[in-house]
Amino acid sequence: MAATASHRAPQRAWMRRALQQIPAPGRDALRRGLEDERRFETAYHELCVAAILQRAQLSPRYELQLAGVTPDLFVDAEPPRRSAVVEIWTKSRRADSKAETRSWDVLRGLVHQIPRPIGIAVVANGGLPVRPPNSRASKQIARELRQWLLLASTRPGSQLDTNGYRFVALAEAPGLRAALGPPAAGGVVDSATLLEGIRVKALKYSPVARELQAQLIVIVAVERGAPGSLDQLRSGLCGRNTVEMSFSPFQAGPIGSWSARLAPDERAWEWPPELSGIGWLAAGVNTPGRLMLITNPNLTDPIAVPTAPDGYVTLMT
């Protein structure tokens, strides 16, 4: 689950509480996702939403079988309140970016064994793209980084050239060990892509929401390093197609190329009729974060926004 560093104790505490309140067998399924490195962020976002709903005195169930589908969360309710089918979509980085990051994980893991809490980054050396080292080179680089970082003279701004890579010390980091930031790009996304992803989710779960006469809410979260924002989503709902990108400030060479569709006019997005609302999750660390909800303006029976303390849920227009 969460890292074992002492400064992550508050995060582990709320995660344990939230997970314990998920009824079985969903609790075990969500725990397995949190323990799987490749599924962690998706499962973490699902747990964040569940924890926020729990703070609103609701009891979400995880991956409950409903009419042949398994939405991420289902919130049962007694009349006159309506139940809710909740699906969380984590917008990921592009596949090649994730693969490149995994290639850096060997070196990142070795750097994390160095007993000095400082952040370091790989920077461009000569203006060429920086490719991850193989396993053997990673071990050699890690040995030299250990010697360098344990020198009293190595401070933020110091640089080390080794094995064709240039490393720069950035700043003291929380915890007890060093941390490496690899130069991986996050990619590009436009508003139309975000809204299409929401539409696909809505169409998949509309039949079960209709059958149960339940609210259908699709919540968007963004993987660390991936592009996308609440402002971009709101622009798309208003009919404006905007483009966002993310990349490492230490990346060298061409960032990439992309194309975006231009709308002939700024026509508001056409909501799927069964979609009650769209949420945006700003996931937290020591707290579950905050959930912003946008309700379908065409509904005669708008969704009942859950009331949570400390502004964990915000209604937006």
Where is pLDDT greater, at 147 or 11? 147
Where is pLDDT greater, at 12 or 72? 72
pLDDT band, very low/low/confident/very high, at 205 (cuts 50, 70, 90) = very high
Give the tens place of pLDDT for each residue, 63-82. 999 989 999 999 998 777 78
Average pLDDT over residues 234-241: 91
d(CA 241, CA 305): 28
Looking at the predicted structure, is the pLDDT value of residue 259 above 80?
no
Share of the chain above pLDDT 70, in %: 83
d(CA 145, CA 218): 45
Structure tokens at 299: 């509904």
d(CA 112, CA 288): 26
pLDDT band, very low/low/confident/very high, at 202 (cuts 50, 70, 90) = very high
Q: What element of type H or E holds 165?
A: strand 165-172
Please report the pLDDT score of residue 258 as a whole number. Answer: 61
Asked if 181 and 203 touch (Cβ cutoff 8 Å), the reply is no
Give the tens place of pLDDT for each residue, 24-54. 999 999 999 998 878 889 999 999 999 999 9
d(CA 263, CA 245): 20
d(CA 280, CA 293): 7
